[in-house]
Copies of this chain bind each other. A is one copy, B any other.
Amino acid sequence: VALRVLLLGLGHVGRRLVEILAERSRHPALTGLDLAVVGIVTRNHGALLDARGIDPREVVSDFRRTGFLPGSAGSGAADGLAAIRSLDYDVLVELTTLDVERRGEPAITHVRHALSRGRHVVTANKGPIAWAYTELKALADESGCALLHEATVMDGTPVFNLARRCLRGNTVERLDGILNATTNFVLGALERGVSLAEAVAAAQRIGVAEADPSLDLDGWDAAVKLAALANVLMGASMAPEEVERESLAAVGRERLLAAHARGSRVKMVCEAVREGARVIGRVCAREIPVGHPFAAVEGTGSILRLTTDILGKVLIVEEDPDLSTTAYGVLSDLYAIAEGEWTGRPAGG
């Protein structure tokens, strides 16, 4: 029985996900994943529902031609929450854009309603995990449902699934890493003598930075990711606004040159450490000696180090990610559900 998926949102990641599904025959190992997209509901591109399963090839070709879902050209915004509450599906895939000012809403509401109906949730939107993880995870456990979110940190590179499935028995004592692609990309450009404005524009051209880059530059994106990691991996109850942040704007080129003269690079480092019963989070510019794994993270790459009580230190690195990397984060979570990690038996239905 195929896993019936409802997609909410169809931005870059959602479109790449649908493209991968349309090109399945090019990925031999992917054939084991049996899923049917039964609905795609968007704010700006229309909506498409088909209980028998949507043909992803049709979505890809229509979207490329019209910028809309098939049959949706000119239609108004679809009601995502109504779809979540009324349609029949096994998994909600929440792909809407993070709204930091609204502290993760309306994505939190979307997730809550799906879990309340006993539906699994996969979210690429960081809001629910950064601001409401404790509540939503309890709801998921109560409903016997999955709440998965691999794509929220380091795109599809295994981070949460790594900890859940490959580090059992360990306690994460601390975590640190480089988690924001825009600031890392911009720091590299600043080192090469490019101005901040030019560097940000270049990051926007390659699709890394948003039209408004301040969420990246001011450390909000990193703080949201750090809160998500601390909440899930260290049992913290950390809201992003509790994370101490340093803005990239405060890091002048002089500091980069002085670091270079000392054989170091400046990197924006995220860290979460235990202090007594609490977990403290920081995003700050740090001077890292060349030769340290953090100094080797170039461009849009990222790195996370977990320090654990038994295994010791393990680092996972993402190199040259693209949209497929993020889309895979969603696919890897769908695999976990399709293979019965929650129900104890394969597939949906």
Contacts and interface: CB of A to CB of B under 8 A. Distances in A.
A158 interface: yes
A309 B28 CA distance: 10
Nearest to A338: B168
Given A165-B165, A291-B290, A316 B319 contact: no
Interface string A314-329: 1111111110110110
A305 B315 CA distance: 12
A296 B344 CA distance: 42
B157 A311 contact: yes
Contacts of A312: 318-322, 324-325
10 contacts: A27-B171, A30-B169, A30-B170, A32-B168, A157-B311, A158-B167, A291-B295, A291-B298, A313-B318, A315-B315
Contacts of A63: none
B328 A29 contact: no
Given A291-B296, A309-B27, A157 B314 contact: yes
Contacts of A319: 293, 305, 312-315
Given A293-B317, A296-B295, A298-B291, A310 B20 contact: yes
A49 interface: no
A332 interface: yes
Say whether chain A's binding surface is mostly helix, strand, loop, or mixed. Answer: mixed
A314 B290 CA distance: 21
A102 interface: no
Contact of A165 (B20, B166, B321, B324): B166
Interface string A265-287: 00000000000000000000000
Interface in A28-46: 28-30, 32-33
A276 to B, nearest CB: 16
B29 A156 contact: no
Contacts of A27: 169-171, 309-310
Contacts of A328: 169-170, 310-311
A14 B131 CA distance: 43
A158 B169 contact: no
A320 B316 contact: no
A170 B314 contact: no
Interface in A6-27: 20, 26-27
A32 B313 contact: no
A318 B322 contact: no
Contact of A315 (B28, B171, B291, B316): B316
Interface string A333-344: 001000100001
Contacts of A297: 293
Contacts of A314: 157-158, 316-319
A84 B280 CA distance: 50
A266 to B, nearest CB: 14
A331 B169 CA distance: 8
Given A314-B316, A324-B311, A332 B169 contact: yes
